[in-house]
Chains A and B, each alone.
Chain A
Amino acid sequence: MEEKFAHPELRKPEHLVYKTTDLMVDCPLSYCPGCGHGVVHRMLMEVLEEKEIASKTIGVNPVGCSVLAYDFMNIDMLGAAHGRAPAVATAIKRLWPDHYVFTYQGDGDLAAIGTAETIHACNRGENFTIIFINNGIYGMTGGQMAPTTLPGMRTSTSPYGRDIEIMGHPLKITELIAQLPGTYYVTRQSVQTPSAVRKTKKALRKAFDLQDQKKGISFVEVVSNCNSGWKMTPVQSNIWMEENMFPVYPLGDIKVDGELVTRS
């Protein structure tokens, strides 16, 4: 089988330049081809491996596309009820203060049904990391409107486009939680290009580094594509994301060292 994928010469150990971390379980992911989730998973696991904290890390995954994330991440995990990951993580971090704790949540989970848990965990200044994947749609349930769905964007529950008059505005929850004194590091990144992936990994590393300082929530939003839900090819979806999502959800740090970043 393996000969299909690489020339024998290339598979010699001395030629190995990169491999997936052992903290990723060697199994097919449940995500659609082209989706950003898998990249974020890998960056996250690489950060834990490089920091050598995998055995002291407890992850909480949501209900949504990443409901099975615990199958892919080779660390101890808990699957939370829809929206409640920040409450679950709050208890874990308080009961195991020397451990590293993170939640991994989508936009429906974090910014709709779990808004109260998100805001209050952030406001209490819990010392864990929230990883927020924002693709503007409910992927797992088949592409319904999310709190972060853009105006005019078509979903299965906004088939004629999100009408602000009827359906309200996209919720910029990341800007909102950045206002809270309990958040210490808030950033928005993406994973559609190699340089964006590197920035996301750097942000994740910083977020976990900050858990040592116990200064509050470190929050990493990743604006990601949903080519299936958006009814596009992966390439089209990334272009559409850059042209439409980024103006509403601009990339970059929003809060660093507890201070809001002023944008010029």
Chain B
Amino acid sequence: MGELRLMKGNEAVAEAAIRAGCDGYFGYPITPQSEVMEYLMVERPYETSGMVVLQAESEVAAINMLYGGAGTGKMVMTSSSSPGVSLMQEGISYLAGAELPALIVNIVRGGPGLGTIQPSQADYFQAVKGGGHGDYHMIVYAPASVQEMADFVQIGFDVAFKYRTPVMILSDGAIGQMMEKVYLADPVARLTDEEVVARCPWASNGRPMSRGHNIITSLDLDPAGQERLNLVLQEKYREIEETEVRFEMIDCEDAEYIFVAFGLSARICQKAMQLARNKGIKVGLFRPITVFPFPKNEIRELGLKVKGMLVVEMNAGQMIEDVQLSVGCNIPIKHYGRFGGIIPTPDEVLKALEEKIIGG
């Protein structure tokens, strides 16, 4: 059945978490994502589903609360925005190293430093290349609508537990704040403690004498052991790259040129495509939905058929590196970006295509 609602992206994340049967949310206020926790505190799911909602003393505490909750097998999440997510990087590295499932939502704002509270996509590198210390990845979803903000909560939890890995929803201040209609699935009951124990035999949630003690850690002082853990992680990331890639292609069949964009930039590119097609320029859009794993094979094949690609991002050129690595040097691949909280207009994007790719 489900339900159709008009909501902000941030509110949709919160409502979707309750409906997904999330066990715990731990967060710290920061603009432009504070509505996630505010919504949860108003809804008080701890009185209905039993979901814990806790305002932590810092993002550092929040991410380590995730570590604790995830280490016991519970479905836990946090949300923050860029500076806060920077503070969480050590904890995310621990989650990856200890192979723990957790959901982290980044409503990206402009940086560096305190930057601005306006939307940005400048945390791409941090999200997809690791961010914290050590060799690890998260699965990273880049929603382009309020609907996808809601959808990726349930999907995110599913893959987090499937692979025992932290998962990030990499959004931005515009999608977090804008209101759209969103279809919400019916609520799923939280797992009982017994179901959690059965689902996560690896978790530390009280040792029955029928098994040995479980230990949640990322530490192995023996280099050979630590290398083995790294190999396990790398094998996991290869499997994720083979099975979890998501992308969208719009009007690419007859396209001579391609916009490559994720999240909000992809929405802008859709309008720029219309403007271009009105002028007779055949442009398509390739939208990575997962930015790790990056849809490299799909974009490589597309690169064989077109004359050039314009990578449109609200940053100084980050995803373009993955596009270039995937496609190679046979066609021109250029970047168009605005940053510091500026959202590019469709006209600007079309002009960039004409100047950098078609006339370039």
- Residues of A at the B interface (CB closer than 8 Å) are 25, 54-58, 60, 67-68, 70-71, 73-81, 84, 87-92, 94-96, 99, 116-117, 120
Beyond A73-B213, A120-B57, is A54–B207 a contact (Cβ under 8 Å)? yes
Which of B65, B94, B204, B218 is A77 in contact with, Cβ under 8 Å?
A: B204
**Considering only CB atoms, which chain A residue lies closest to B211 in the complex?**
A76
Which residues of chain B are near A120, meaning CB under 8 Å?
56-57, 61
Which residues of chain B are near A76, meaning CB under 8 Å?
203-207, 213-215
- Residues of B at the A interface (CB closer than 8 Å) are 23-24, 26, 52, 54, 56-58, 60-62, 64-69, 71-72, 74, 76, 90-91, 94, 98, 193, 203-209, 212-219
4 nearest CB pairs, A to B: A88-B68, A76-B204, A84-B64, A91-B68
Which residues of chain A are near B90, meaning CB under 8 Å?
81
Which of B69, B71, B206, B215 is A99 in contact with, Cβ under 8 Å?
A: B206
**Does the CB pair A55–B216 fall under 8 Å?**
no
Give Cα distance in the complex from A58 to B204, angstroms.
7
Beyond A87-B56, A87-B61, is A80–B206 a contact (Cβ under 8 Å)? no
Give Cα distance in the complex from A92 to B196, angstroms.
13
**Does the CB pair B205–A99 fall under 8 Å?**
yes
Which residues of chain A are near B26, meaning CB under 8 Å?
91
**Does the CB pair A81–B64 fall under 8 Å?**
yes
Beyond A55-B208, A58-B206, A77-B204, is A91–B24 a contact (Cβ under 8 Å)? yes
Give Cα distance in the complex from A96 to B203, angstroms.
13
**Does the CB pair B204–A95 fall under 8 Å?**
no
Which of B57, B207, B219 is A55 in contact with, Cβ under 8 Å?
A: B207
Which of A89, A90, A99 is B54 in contact with, Cβ under 8 Å?
A: A90
Which residues of chain B are near A68, meaning CB under 8 Å?
219
Which of A57, A70, A90 is B206 in contact with, Cβ under 8 Å?
A: A57
**Does the CB pair A116–B58 fall under 8 Å?**
yes
Which of A70, A84, A116 is B217 in contact with, Cβ under 8 Å?
A: A70
Which of A74, A95, A116 is B24 in contact with, Cβ under 8 Å?
A: A95
Which residues of chain B are near A58, meaning CB under 8 Å?
72, 204-206
